[in-house]
Amino acid sequence: MQVPTKPIVYSSYNEAADGVASPAVWTSFRGNAERSSSSATEVPTEVKVAWTSKIAGKSKEGTVQRDWRSYLNSRLTAAVISNGLAIIGDIDQNEVIAISVFDGSVKWRVMTGARVDSAPTLHKGICLVGDHAGYVYAIKIKTGELIYKLRVAPQEKRMISYGKVESVWPVVGGVMVADGKAFASAGRTQGSDGGLVVRAFVPETGKHLWAKALPQNGKGLAQKRPMRNDALARHGKLLTIMGHWLSLESGAISPKPTGKAARAIGTGLEGIYSWNWTRLGHRKFSHVGYGEFKGNTVSWNGQRAASSGRGSGGSITDLAGKKGRKNFAAPGKGYQATSLVLTNNLLIQGGALLDQKDEKGFVRAISLEDGKVVWEKKFAAKLAFNGLAVDSSGVIATFDDGTVVCLK
């Protein structure tokens, strides 16, 4: 595989001028590089809708729109939050949008070359986002100014996918940042369409660090059968992608950890970023999981692990074993949970309401102590897949109709 080594630079970056003033707790897909979908913050036991912002309009009818409906994706990605801004991808329109966490007003918009399928990643004042043209874009969080774009795809080669021109090697599942390095994967599947490549680079400059093409025959990999592309996840000094393990430092293929060290996010055949099951009813090709805790959705932190399955009921387990496991009931017929976030004091769950007239989506809070519902809000559209982001500014929820809501 040919892998480019130099980014295309558009503007200068100065950490002192462009850096983030305050620490952020929800900076990438599922909150962090571990993809734990947890937030080190307190959520109020009573909330109201602080603001609602419609940031994406209805797409024009036509061939592309019909193909897009077949794609089965949400309209918006989840938000990432930093420095007073929530930044969201409009998947359909190839756009990255920053809005104020205080009132939902749009602060800037940036177009990419193709679809953006996952939430951006924030690092030291930079918004990193991958697209299906095979590139990663580095954007200043404060202004929306483009710093550089970097081709992760090994070659400039195009195909038609769901009505749009895309790279044979799309950047799938967003960018991961760990130990001061950025990582992205490009490709559709390991065994076809050009295979998969994982690349490491310096997030501030786009400078190449290493690249690794995953063997199409599975040689040397922990998972032998060919797999589809998915979001990268950090596990100690390793990164994992669909059961494959690579060194963060060099990209060298590593065996799967054993014993307690093996407790990491398990992806199932559908991966952790795949949205298709939300239209089909539940995960048909095995659950996601954190160790033995498995479900349609899963979340964990240093103290607890939570999961929910079909019907949106589930459990919260004390990892230290002192308080055992608390079960929580499914809220009623037609609930489908597609997002789960553990916070310091509550479990936040959201998703779709199926076969109900005016209310299509929900977000609710569950007590960590007894599994009872603390509050619940219903909405006119389905929650986007993994569509919850939580920090001190509130619960930021993105919906399939292009709406963003803040609860606090």
340-363 pLDDT, tens digit per residue, is 999 999 999 999 998 777 789 999
SS3 letters across 228-288: ECCCCEEECCEEEECCEEEECCCCCEECCCCHHHHCCEECCCCCCCCCCHHHHCCCCCCCE
Q: What is the pLDDT of residues 182-228, one digit of tens each?
A: 999 999 888 777 788 999 999 999 999 999 988 776 666 766 666 78
Highest mean pLDDT among 21-25, 265-269, 317-321, 369-373: 369-373
> Mean pLDDT over residues 71-86, rounded?
88
Q: What is the pLDDT of residues 263-273, one digit of tens each?
A: 778 777 778 88
Return the SS3 of 395.
strand
Q: What is the pLDDT of residues 169-180, one digit of tens each?
A: 999 999 999 999
- Cα angle, residue 180 at apex, residues 179 and 183 outer, rounded to 5°: 85
- Tokens of residue 221, six digits: 């990999």
What pLDDT does residue 69 have?
Answer: 59
CATH topology of domain 8-407: Methylamine Dehydrogenase; Chain H (2.130.10)
Domain ranges in the chain?
Answer: 8-407
Query: Which of residues 1 and 275 earns the better pLDDT score?
Result: 275
Neighbours of 114 (CB within 10 A): 20
Indicate if the pLDDT at residue 82 is higher than 80: yes
> Mean pLDDT over residues 69-77, rounded?
75
Q: What is the pLDDT of residues 290-332, one digit of tens each?
A: 888 889 999 999 899 999 988 889 999 998 877 789 999 988 8
Q: What is the pLDDT of residues 95-126, one digit of tens each?
A: 999 999 999 999 999 999 999 999 999 999 99
What pLDDT does residue 222 have?
Answer: 63
Residues for the chain: how many in total?
A: 408
- Cα angle, residue 26 at apex, residues 25 and 31 outer, rounded to 5°: 120
